[in-house]
Amino acid sequence: MKVVDCVAKKLTVGFGLAVIAVAFTAVNLRAGISSLAPVIGQVADSFGVSNSTAGILTSLPGFCFAIMGWSAVPIARRLGLSPTLVAGSVALLVGLAIRPFVNSYWPFLLLTVLLIAGIAVANILLPAWVKEHSQGTHQVRLMMIYTAALGASGAVGPLSALLFSGSSAWRWSLGVWVVPVVVQVVVWTIVLSRTKKDVPSAGVMSDPEALVEELENAEKKPAKTLPAQPVSDPGGSLIKSPTAIAMMLFFGIQSSGAYAQMGWLPAILVESGVSEAIASIALAVLGGFNVIGGVLMPWLLSRLNSVVSLPVILGVVTAGGWLGVMFAPTAAPLVWASMLGVGGMCFPLALALLTARTRSPLVTARLSGFVQPGGYIIAGIVPLLMGFLYSATGTWDAALILVTVMSLALIVFGVRAARNVFIDDELARQQ
């Protein structure tokens, strides 16, 4: 009876409806954040606040993602996946719809927290919803739609700044993203009417990149030829695992650089003499490389015997991009953005290492819960610190030196994280 109920539950949402729900949700997962960066200077001027105060806005994604990383799954287990995703969609809609109309900073900040919390809920739970409500090739296709739309979201978000001009341009630039979110809320309301309280089954809380890889491998080989995976947890503390610590720092430093780019890169370029249009395009170009990296990094990881060279290459390229922004911002801003985009491929590499450096799915789950929330806390601190450094010094030099040094730190921790070591073994040796 339980098997029948499970299958019935998985078939309650048609594939077409699932595609629409996943696509519209994923395309809204970065646009609400990345659309703010090109106009953050206008927002600060409009509200009469300093860059260090405005910098709080750039730190919010990291902190919200860390908090929701700890709380979204328990909430979904109590309320259900679809109800929680509906609540997150409504929070995103309310934040985006009201934010352009406020006339002071603190309401703007609170509404930004609200919409980012809604984004964080979907970012964490959507892959689990896909796994709960689809099977076989449908799962693969939905996850491919998810990762592609997610990358596109970061790329198209900054482009809304090019559509409007005048003193209220920033309000329209941010407000235009309400339209796809309205569709998202309507679609998820329809989905909820079919799924009801869909409490997640055991094991569905998977990392999106790991889920794509798992499903692709399952399609390529018959089930009987798949190697048996250990399901036991060797115990031990991840805080005592050198590889786990290196992975958290690698993930956190990469994420902090990404949010520094989404929060400050256009402002840095504009102050250096680059036009606002080119600065917005630069951020969009950077986001486009996220789509390429999402496909390329898992492919390389599956084919190279050693990937230790990858963080070295990506760290050097990232540092080169920041140095270009520092010393010759107007010479080739799109080249520097492209270099930073290539360096941003550390993100899918970090996600792919979560499964590549563990044997047991239970250890993978523990590692993901350790690496991502801890890393996102680091990601929240750095953009905030950059704003304070700018306010204290009057230039972006100190902030750019900070992110350049952190790019080199990517090499140190990335090499340690990429070594052919299994965290399961490090945990077992603690016993």
Tell whether 145 and 277 lie within a shared domain.
no
pTM value is 0.77
CATH number at residue 164: 1.20.1250.20
Tell whether 80 and 182 lie within a shared domain.
yes
Q: Please classify residue 217 by burial: count the beta carbons closer than 10 Å to its beta carbon, then call 0-12 exposed, 13-18 middle and 19+ buried.
A: exposed
Choosing from 181, 209, 227, the residue where a domain stops is: 227
pLDDT at 170 over 80: yes
Cα separation, 270 vs 236, whole angstroms: 49
Whose CA is closest to 118, among 55, 184, 179?
A: 184
* Contact present, 330 and 311 (Cβ < 8 Å): no
Segment 340-348 mean pLDDT: 89
Whose CA is closest to 281, among 341, 327, 344, 326?
A: 341
Cα separation, 430 vs 427, whole angstroms: 5
**If you average pLDDT over every residue of the chain, what do you get?**
84
Tell whether 313 and 392 lie within a shared domain.
yes
Task: Write down the pLDDT at residue 233.
Answer: 61
Tell whether 263 and 165 lie within a shared domain.
no
- Of 28-37, 172-181, 392-401, the one with minimum mean pLDDT is 28-37
Choosing from 227, 260, 283, the residue where a domain stops is: 227
pLDDT at 216 over 50: no
- Of 212-226, 324-338, 349-363, the one with minimum mean pLDDT is 212-226
Question: CA of 18: how far to CAs of 135, 190, 219, 314, in Å?
Answer: 12, 11, 21, 35
Task: State percent of the chain over pLDDT 90.
Answer: 40
Choosing from 203, 227, 251, the residue where a domain stops is: 227
Tell whether 302 and 319 lie within a shared domain.
yes
pLDDT digits (tens, 9 = 90+) for 32-57: 888 898 888 889 889 988 877 887 88
pLDDT at 361 over 80: no
The residue ranking higher by pLDDT, 197 or 106, is: 106
Q: How many domains does the chain have?
A: 2
Q: Please classify residue 84 by burial: count the beta carbons closer than 10 Å to its beta carbon, then call 0-12 exposed, 13-18 middle and 19+ buried.
A: buried
Segment 368-396 mean pLDDT: 88
Cα separation, 78 vs 335, whole angstroms: 48
Cα separation, 288 vs 156, whole angstroms: 9
Indicate the helix (H) or strand (E) that contains 268. helix 242-271
Tell whether 249 and 191 lie within a shared domain.
no
pLDDT band at 223 (very low <50, low <70, confident <90, very high): very low
Task: Write down the pLDDT at residue 360.
Answer: 78
pLDDT digits (tens, 9 = 90+) for 279-319: 999 998 988 887 787 777 767 877 888 889 999 999 999 99
Cα separation, 212 vs 127, whole angstroms: 10
pLDDT at 1 over 60: no
Q: DSSP letters of 48-100?
A: T--HHHHHHHHHHHHHHHHHHHHHHHHHHHHH-HHHHHHHHHHHHHHHHHHGG
Tell whether 236 and 218 lie within a shared domain.
no
Tokens of 96: 């985006």
Cα separation, 168 vs 52, whole angstroms: 22
Tell whether 198 and 266 lie within a shared domain.
no
pLDDT band at 198 (very low <50, low <70, confident <90, very high): confident
- Residue 45's domain spans which residues? 1-227
Segment 90-99 mean pLDDT: 96
Tell whether 223 and 236 lie within a shared domain.
no
Task: Write down the pLDDT at residue 299.
Answer: 76
Tell whether 219 and 337 lie within a shared domain.
no
Tell whether 200 and 238 lie within a shared domain.
no
Tell whether 148 and 296 lie within a shared domain.
no
pLDDT digits (tens, 9 = 90+) for 249-277: 999 999 999 889 988 999 999 999 999 89
Task: Give residue 77's identity as a one-letter amino acid code.
Answer: R
Task: Write down the pLDDT at residue 60.
Answer: 86
The residue whose two tokens read 């929330």 is: 373
* Contact present, 58 and 262 (Cβ < 8 Å): yes
pLDDT at 235 over 90: no
Cα separation, 17 vs 116, whole angstroms: 25
